[in-house]
A and B are shown apart, each in its own frame.
Chain A
Amino acid sequence: MAFEQLRSSRGAQIVLGLLTGIAFGFLLQKGGVTEYAVIIGQLLLTDFTVVKVMLSAILVGMIGVYAMKAAGLVRLHVKAGSVGATVIGGLIFGAGFAILGYCPGTAAGAVGSGALDAAIGMIGIALGAGIFARIYPRLDRSVLNRGMFSAETIPEMVNVRPGMVVVVVAFLIIVILLLLAMLGF
């Protein structure tokens, strides 16, 4: 596979990680999603900036990643999920999302824009991650593997060629974005 040397160079990857983070932070700030009011506005369903950014990223990212995968340039990195891990963890995350008003990436972006409450939030997220690491062995034995999902990807789940699923999902995303615009969001 191409880029093998670059991918295995520790130093180059740290530089790439920093550059990737800078580009990501720049985009998040320009998108306005590092603002508390924009995130809370999304959760109150009065401002759809977050959903527009996410769906546009999914649309463009999906087409590129699946095209590169078909060309043998990249491989997918999907994790298996379960009711016990994905649903319960997702709902806990959602509660934190509303209470903090930033997410792990946008909190860092908000700090860069001058929001000091987001810095407290970042400390909280690291504390929460540390708490999770402490209770992980117990959770792993009890709840995390309950109700494992039968498939890792949507194409596997519906047993349809990935290319077809990409076309259908791309179409649905465009329809949702158009509907949001038509509804005046």
Chain B
Amino acid sequence: MFEWLLMATWSPYIVGAGIGVLIWTTFLFSDRPLGASTAYAKTAGMVESAISRHNAAKMPYYRKFTPTIDWQWIIIIGVVIGAFLSAYLSNTFTILVVPTLFADTFGPDPAVRIAVALIGGILMGIGARWAGGCTSGHGISGALQLSVASWVAAICFFAGGILVAGMMFGFAFS
């Protein structure tokens, strides 16, 4: 059992099944689907509140997604801790700024990678809230509930992603 925790990678089927079981527990104990992008909306709301509590309270979006520390927000903190535990136990924790694949195509300059990551993140944040969820909220939790919107969203995530990744790195099958 302990050796298993030290392994660098597990089979994707085992990992997926584990996430499936984890979602049983979120439905059972918390009456919620598992999602990640709401936490970012709450964080943005916390920043807006810190700048002006009055203005943030007037924004309709933060009445729907209240900027408070709760189940949905703390998830993302847990993910950082859980991933660190996994990486630390398997001795794969490595500080990096520019992933190798990115450097191979766009060069090793950290400033380029930081700018690209920021732009990508902003688009992703807008898109996730626009579509009402992300790869976990729609792609897994929503899809497993057989939600029409979630299956459409997941298809669009990959359609957009495949198109833009192909434009950036060259289509592998062309």
By a beta-carbon cutoff of 8 Å, the part of chain A in contact with chain B is 3, 6-7, 10, 13-14, 16-37, 40, 43-46, 49, 52-62, 64-65, 68, 73-82, 85-101, 103-118, 120-134, 136-137, 139-140, 144, 149, 151-155, 157, 162, 165-166, 169, 177
The secondary-structure label for the interface of chain B is helix
Given contacts A117-B96, A124-B120, contact A14 B152 (CB under 8 A): no
Chain B residues within 8 Å of A33, by CB = 15
- Given A22-B85, A92-B160, output 4 extra A-B contacts at Cβ < 8 Å: A89-B130, A93-B153, A128-B125, A153-B147
Closest residue on chain B to residue A7 by CB atoms: B31
Known contacts A44-B172, A132-B129, A154-B146: A94-B161 contact under CB 8 Å: yes
> Across the interface, which residues of B come within 8 angstroms of A152, CB to CB?
147-149
Q: Nearest chain A CB to B119's CB is how many angstroms away?
A: 6
- Name the B residues within 8 Å of A123 (CB-CB): 118, 121
B22 closest partner in A (C-beta): A23
* Residue in A27, A90, A93, A120 whose beta carbon sits within 8 Å of that of B19 in the complex: A27
A132 touches B61 (CB 8 A): yes
Of B40, B41, B102, B144, which one neighbours A57 at CB under 8 angstroms? Answer: B144
| Cβ-closest chain A residue relative to B102 | A36
Distance of A177 Cα from B83 Cα, bound (Å): 26
- Contact among B129, B141, B155 with A129 in the assembled complex (CB-CB below 8 Å): B129
Count B interface residues, CB 8 Å: 128
Are A151 and B148 interface neighbours, CB within 8 A?
A: yes
A100 surroundings in chain B (CB, below 8 A): 116-117, 120-121, 123-124
Interface residues of B (CB under 8 A from A): 7, 9-10, 12-34, 36-37, 39-41, 43-45, 47-48, 59-62, 69-87, 90, 92-102, 113-114, 116-136, 138-166, 168-169, 171-173
In the docked arrangement, what's the CA distance between A92 and B127, Å?
5
| A56 (CB) vs chain B CBs: closest residue | B16
CB distance from B143 to the nearest CB of A (A): 5
Nearest A residue to B93 via CB reads A114
B14, B97, B120: residue with the most chain A Cβ atoms closer than 10 Å: B120
A25 in complex: contacting residue of B16, B30, B83, CB < 8 Å: B83
Q: List 22 A-B contacts (CB under 8 A).
A: A17-B73, A18-B75, A26-B82, A36-B101, A40-B169, A43-B162, A53-B19, A54-B139, A54-B154, A56-B17, A56-B20, A81-B153, A89-B127, A96-B124, A99-B120, A100-B116, A104-B125, A105-B36, A112-B85, A129-B41, A130-B45, A153-B145
